[in-house]
Each structure stands twice: as C-alpha cells, then as structure tokens.
Amino acid sequence: MAFTVLIPARLASTRLPNKPLADIAGVPMVVRVAQRVAQGLAQPARIVVAADDVRIVQACARFGIEAVLTRVDHASGSDRLAEACDLLGLADEAIVVNVQGDEPLIDPGLVQAVADLLVSQPSASMGTAAHAIDSVEEFKNPNVVKVVLNAAGMALYFSRAPIAWWRDGFADGIAALPQPAPLRHIGIYSYRAGFLRSFPTLAQAPLEITEALEQLRALWHGYQITVHTSATAPGAGVDTPQDLERVRALFAARPLGA
C-alpha cells in the first residue's frame, strides 16, 4: 500500500525559534525527521515536508528531501496539510500520514502502523495511536491527552482529564491507575486526503474549544477515528532548547542510522 508522509514545518516557534532548521549533528531537524521515517518504513512512501518558509524548502533540497511551500497564515497544521494535498495533486482516496517536524526520534514502525489502520478500517476517516499509561502523574497531567476506545478500536473520546474514571475513584483521590490501564494519545495521524481537504471547512466543535483538542471536531461531526495501540511510548519530541540538547547528545553518541 503506497501512502504519503507529510511533515508540516513552521519556522516560527515561541520556545525554540527556527526549530525546523535547528542543527542536529550537521543536519536540520526537519530533514532528520524525514530521513528517520524513510530509513525504517516497511513499504515505500512519498515523504514531503510542507513548509511555510522558503528557507525550509531550500534546506530540504540540499539533502534531497522533497518539500512544498505553503501559505504562512494557516490556523493549524491540518490546514497546512490540506493545502499540501492540493499542491501535490493527491487523489481523495490517497492515504496521508502526518508526522510532526519536531520528532527526529519517531519510530518508523509507528508511522507504518498508523497508515495501515485506514486500510484495515475502511469506515474510518482518520487514524492515530496510543499507548498504555503506567504513571499516576501522567494520568493526572492535563498536558497528557487521554483516549478511550470502543471494541473495534475506534476512539470514543479524547480528553485532557483522567479518563476512563472508575466509579469510586474520588474516594481516595488519584492514588492509583484504573484497570485496564488508561491510554495516552500519541500525536500522529493518518487521513484520507479527501477528508483532510474538507476538515478545515468543518465548524469547530464546542468540545474541541473546551479541551483545545482539534481531533474532537472530527468526532463531533460524526467521523470515525481508528486507533493503533502501541506497546511502547514514542521517542520524545523537541519543544524546548533543553529537548534539543538532549537529542543532539543522542545523535552525537549514536547516529541512529543517519
């Protein structure tokens, strides 16, 4: 099954300016992400960076990575990806996987698994991933998004709140995890290109605004999101200068196949 990996890259970043171009062992971070994905996929895929600045496109070209230049005024990454689908002329039925441009440690196997979801679940418009939470602190943390699934592995709801919540959970506060283990959402998505084109035109959902979670818009409008449950947590992304130094140290010690 052929699919396209789209890597949105926005030059502006509050915590880490020019993040896509941050140097990691002599290679810009967004290029590291593309190389990492390309090296480990089980099937060939087209890998394209969707950039908002010509400097990102030029940096990708120097390393042989395909890139397209999108508008600078997109409200979200989904809007940028929708424009990229048009620029690339992707058919509505084509499968697209969104890999964030700040994840140079992404597991290519996870990318493949999320792409495969839409083949095995033809009724779903989106795919994503999750893994079991093993820490009470993570379960309580509003920055850790949780997801609950139905019997077919479809998402019922995403929340920053600790879900699922057991009936007597308030008796002692959150001192232990419920069973079965709650699931942490992993921010990787697959889409059918036709749905991705239409997504920015959908009205925002009230729950999306409350939770600040864009994927709730799809559920609110009746679209299905299928979820791959990973056995392990993904490699951490790069959000801060401290994260960048940690990743640089990893690449310096072990190039990770790059």
Could you report the per-residue pLDDT of 165-209, keeping only the tens digit for each? 877 666 667 778 888 899 999 999 999 999 999 999 999 999 999
Domain with CATH 3.90.550.10 in the chain: 1-103+239-258, 107-234
The topology (CATH level 3) of 1-103+239-258 is: Spore Coat Polysaccharide Biosynthesis Protein SpsA; Chain A (3.90.550)
Predicted confidence band of residue 255 (pLDDT cuts 50, 70, 90): low
Residue 257 has pLDDT above 70, yes or no: no
pLDDT at 172: 65
Q: Give residue-wise pLDDT tens across range 227-239.
A: 999 998 888 789 8
86-113 average pLDDT score: 94
Task: Please tell me the least confidently modeled range out of 15-19, 99-103, 134-138.
Answer: 15-19
The fold of the 107-234 domain, in CATH, is Spore Coat Polysaccharide Biosynthesis Protein SpsA; Chain A (3.90.550)
Averaged pLDDT for residues 216-244:
92
In three state form, how does the secondary structure of the chain look?
CCCEEEEEECCCCCCCCCHHHCEECCEEHHHHHHHHHHHHCCCCCEEEEEECCHHHHHHHHHCCCEEEECCCCCCCHHHHHHHHHHHHCCCCCCEEEECCCCCCCCCHHHHHHHHHHHHHCCCCCEEEEEEECCCHHHHHCCCCCEEEECCCCEEEEEECCCCCCCCCHHHCCCCCCCCCCCEEEEEEEEEEHHHHHHHHHCCCCHHHHHHCCCHHHHHHCCCCEEEEEECCCCCCCCCCHHHHHHHHHHHHHCCCCC
User: Residue 235's pLDDT is what?
Assistant: 80
**In Å, what is the CA distance from 130 to each residue of 12, 52, 122, 123?**
28, 29, 20, 19
Residue 88 has pLDDT above 90, yes or no: yes
The mean pLDDT of 121-144, rounded to a whole number, is 94
- Check whether 258 has a pLDDT greater than 50: no
Is residue 156 within 8 Å of 143, Cβ to Cβ? no
d(CA 32, CA 21): 10
Q: Distance (Å, rounded) from C-alpha 95 to C-alpha 108?
A: 16
Instruction: Output the pLDDT for position 228.
Output: 97
* pLDDT, the chain, mean: 91
Over residues 92-102, the pLDDT tens digits come to 999 999 999 99
158-161, long-range: CB < 8 A, 24+ apart: 158/185, 158/211, 158/213, 158/215, 158/216, 158/219, 159/211, 159/213, 160/211, 160/212, 160/213
% of the chain surpassing 90 pLDDT = 74
| 186-195, 211-220, 248-257: the lowest-pLDDT one | 248-257
The whole-model pTM stands at 0.90
Which residue, among 4, 1, 51, has the nearest Cα to 30 in the 3D structure? 51
Give the tens place of pLDDT for each residue, 33-67. Answer: 999 999 878 777 899 999 999 999 999 999 999 99
pLDDT over 70 percentage in the chain: 95
